[in-house]
Structure 1
């Protein structure tokens, strides 16, 4: 059984994979350049998710408008870890913040947001533990796009295949194709800041 809050991801010694869903124009430009470029917006927060299944829930398995292209973005762990060190939860948590006022003050100044949402199963069921979403603020987006990103892979064909297997009820076939995710450990101060359980 997974801990209520922990990060699960596809990662190696230097990089970690996060997932995002976009329209054709943004996805094609990013894939061509190997990093995010216009028409990707550098003026608003972008949300990155290390859970493929949570992004599938968010994007309707790549079927929602403007979320039909599923991208796997391999970024430097140093950037990811730095973002988490600066992150503030999107809601008050008594085990993390001394008071509601302390949380409001931290949140108002935060350049990275973290939200924990129910993880999803392959069938779309809410699970009993949470999945992390990280909102990279506009002050860090250029760094995310130009310095952290090492590779962008188009997972749209894989997503379409998985969607077909789900529709046919072939969950065993779908499960074999899912990206593999393992527990990603963070330093103690970051874990305390984000309510991560070890």
Structure 2
């Protein structure tokens, strides 16, 4: 695996406890995002290093940069049709492009626009943005918020191929770490090393409520 790994308990003290944060593994060129699929889709993606075959370009796909939040959603790879857990090394510029064009998936007054204008933006946008409660390794809800981005139309087409640097199958790693969760052994749990992501573009930080 190309992921940088670190003991969970060594990372937690450095993580923010609340607020809106993009927790991720990233550098100046790429960011790791996670998805889970049924085995045939995952196998095609890893063998060909792009999404094709049974992968649908006609429905929205959601990417998650936060490993533990992905584990909460896919039950550590145990849920039906989510057994193939993928770590996607995505071009950072593509990730930023998605965020700049993303529209919040639900309306609130802080958006600074009326509901009708928001509805029009949602219809026209090819990227959605959603903040949800983050979760600890056991699936317990935290005060910190975790981000996910939904892609469709032209963005799902570029995401599926040209925006990707590499696709890794991390299903075996996830299965191994899940055993520590089942045994309530957080001392042994190892996960991808993550830290909050902030952008040089302050307008984007403000849009995303990042601090």
Match of 1:63 in 2: 78
3-state SS, counterpart of residue 95 of structure 1: helix
Where does residue 193 of structure 1 map in the other structure? 207
State yes or no: 1:44 paired with 2:59: yes
Of 26, 31, 55, the residue aligned with 1:11 is: 26
In 1, Cα distance between equivalents of 2:43 and 2:134: 29
Q: 1:144 maps to which residue?
A: 159
Classify 1:192/1:99 alpha carbon distance in 2 versus 1 (closer, same or farther; 3 Å): farther
Quote the residue 1:157 is aligned against: 172
- Deviations along 1:12-47, one digit per CA (max 9) or x if unpaired, are 110000000011100111110011111111111110
- Whether contact under 8 Å (1:35, 1:149) holds in the other structure is yes
Deviation, 1:191, is 2.5
In 1, distance between residues paired with 2:120 and 2:203?
Answer: 19
Q: CA offsets, 1:133-188, max 9 Å, x none?
A: 000113211211221100111110111011111111111111xx111111111322
Choose 53-62 or 2-11, whichever is displaced more.
2-11
Structure 1: where are the runs of 5+ without partners? none
SS of the residue corresponding to residue 106 of structure 2 reads: coil
Report the alpha carbon displacement of residue 98 of structure 1 after superposing the two structures with TM: 2.5
Instruction: Count how many residue pairs are aligned between Structure 1 and Structure 2.
Output: 195
Give the TM-score normalised by structure 1.
0.94
Report what 1:180 is aligned to: 193
1:118-129 equivalence runs, <5 A: 118-129=133-144
CA contact (8 A) 2:72 2:137 kept: no
RMSD of aligned Cα (Å): 1.2
Matched, 1:112 2:127: yes
Distance (whole Å) between structure 1 residues aligned to residue 21 and residue 79 of structure 2: 28
